Amino acid sequence: MLSKKTQYAFHALIYLAENVDKGPILISEIAQEKSISIKFLENILLELKNSGILGSKKGKGGGYYLMKPPKEIALAKIIRLLDGPIALLPCVSLNYYERCENCRDEAVCGLNEVMGRVRDSALKILENKTLKDILTKS
């Protein structure tokens, strides 16, 4: 399961995407609209900013905004950033690979193979679906 952090990030990003035309959006506004603790959300948005997903402006009239159009922000990127590996096992993770300690040889491990396929099927969706694809259907 995705952590609350990642879930909150998605909801915040959706809100930002749905209000792209309104300039910078306040943390407090997002927190209220999406029922998220404001201080927790602050940390999350900061992290997204430091990774280049969001931009921000301080002072009056400030807030957060998307650095790229929603259709260019893949869901996989957000998950990896805040939650880490998408794969179910370390030994099949593309971005956070770790050797398996309980099997002798990954090359002949059937578990490795199946979990690799699960990863691929998830990535096929998560790498191609973007923020634009998860906006509220109107």
**Residues in the site for DNA, rule: CB under 7 A?**
3-5, 24-28, 37, 39-40, 42-43, 45-46, 49-50, 56-64, 83-84
Taking the least distance from each CB to DNA, the nearer of 5 and 77 is 5
Question: Are 42 and 34 spatial neighbours (Cβ–Cβ below 8 Å)?
Answer: no
- Minimum CB separation from its own copies for residue 61, in Å? 26
* CA distance linking residue 137 with residue 133, whole number of Å: 9
User: What Å distances lie between residue 120 and 83, 86, 113, 129, 130, CA to CA?
Assistant: 18, 10, 11, 14, 17
Q: Which is nearer to DNA, 24 or 122 (CB)?
A: 24
Min dist CB 42 to DNA, Å, is: 5
26 binds, among its own copies, DNA, none (CB under 5 to 8 A by kind): DNA
| Closest to DNA by CB, 40 or 97 | 40
| Residue 94 interacts with its own copies (CB under 8 A): yes or no | no
Q: How many helices (H) and strands (E) does the chain have?
A: 5, 2
DSSP per position, 2-59: --HHHHHHHHHHHHHHHTGGG-SB-HHHHHHHHT--HHHHHHHHHHHHHTTSEEEE-S
Interface residues toward its own copies, by CB under 8 A: 1-2, 7-8, 10-11, 14, 34-36, 75, 79, 84-85, 87-90, 101-103, 108-111, 113-114, 117-118, 121-122, 124-126, 129, 133-138
